[in-house]
Structures are given as C-alpha cells and as structure tokens.
Amino acid sequence: MSFLIKLYSLFGRNFVRQRLLTKTNASAMRLFLSEPFPQNKKSIYDVDIVSLDLETTGLDPTKDNIISIGLVKIESLEIKLATCWHQIIKTKEYISEQSVVIHQITDDKAKTGMSIEQAIPLLLEQLAGKVMLVHNANIEQGFLNKICQALYDCDFVIPIIDTQVLAKRSLDRRNAVYQSNDLRLFNLRRKFKMPHYKAHNALMDAIATAELFLAIVNEIVPNSSESKSRARLGNFLT
C-alpha cells in the first residue's frame, strides 16, 4: 500500500484507479473501477458519500476476519436512511468469546450469513464512484485491501473521509489538549451532544459516523453560500 499512497500523492486516486482497471480481469473490480471518483475540487455538498463500518474478529487484517458490514449513503449532505444495508458475513473461523461479547455475533449467527465472496461484489457496487466515509480508516482500508487482493488480486482504492482525522485536525488547529481516547467515535459524539447508540453493530456505527461527519462539517463550514462554495471535497479527504 505504501507504493499506492505515493501514487495518490503524485497523481491522485483517479490515476491509480485507471491504472488498476487496466490490470484487473475480475468483473467485480472492473465494474467498481470503471466509475470515476469525484474530483477534489467538487463541493462537498455535491458529493455522494457512503458511510461504512466493518465489524471484525480483531484489528489485524492479516489474521482476522470481517463478520459484518453496515453502510448508509449521504447525498447532498443528507443521510438517506432508506439506503441502509447490513450484512452478517459467514466465517469458517471460530469466533472467540471476547468477540461475541463485543459484536453479539455468535458462531450460529455467522453460519447464516453471506459469504465474503458474495458480499464484496455487492459492497463494491455500492461504493463505485463514491467517497467512502469511515471512522479510523486504517481498519476498513486494511481489511478491504486484503480481501480484494485475495479475491481479485487487485488493490482497493477509493477517496476516503475519516471522521477521526477530521476531528484531530480540528483539535490541533485550536491547540487543544486531548488524549487518543477522546478521538473514539462515541466520545466525539458525546462532545457534540449527540444521542448515544449501542456500539459495535456495523449499521449503527455507520449511521453514527455519518451523523458525526455532518456535525463536523457544520462546525468547519459556516452556514453561508460563500463558505459553502469553498467547501471542496479535497479539504476533507484523508
């Protein structure tokens, strides 16, 4: 991924997307990569965003597995609850007791889920041409890159907005003192006086991230037409 990051910085994600498109024969990846990503200069108000959360058996993509996927779409900076999608993922690995306590997904429940081979094409279809919104991008990016490499021998590339990064930037600009724990999703929601949701459900976390993002945008961009016109996508990307 370090080589890809260098290409991002030099040429942009659309260059990397087109490069990967010429190299992959996998139909799911070709459909995904065929859709151009929004340009950085586009207004954040005109960008289609997918708020995504993955629940996993651990934090290491090299040895842990995705056990559920949740997402909701944001259009014109409005959360579209009708687009909510939640899918439990079947896993062949034993789900530890600690993981069950966190996610409430047991081995029996996981057996009724969709295979990762079935779920990823559906996910890629929803992400095509969009911006992905997450909280702590290293998790989602790492797992999706691992899966796309395993299934399609292709890297996963997409424009990413990370609410954790946006919150950190805001605090750093104000020279605020904070601990790493203050940047956790639900601690940030508490700061914005947002309602408490049950954590570690992929769909609820995706919705919680979407709401937090809108609150951060409202804090960053004053409610004026001039300010909104300067709210470019590139200013929000990780």
Domains of the chain are: 36-235 (3.30.420.10)
Q: Is the pLDDT of residue 1 over 60?
A: no
pTM of the shown model = 0.93
Between CA 68 and CA 113 the distance in angstroms is 9
- Nearest Cα to 157, choosing from 115, 116, 129, 117? 129
Q: Is the pLDDT of residue 209 over 80?
A: yes
Q: Residue 219's pLDDT is what? A: 87
Q: Is the pLDDT of residue 100 over 80?
A: no
Q: What is the tens place of the pLDDT at every residue in 5-51?
A: 666 666 789 999 999 999 999 999 999 999 999 999 999 999 999 99
Between CA 59 and CA 36 the distance in angstroms is 30
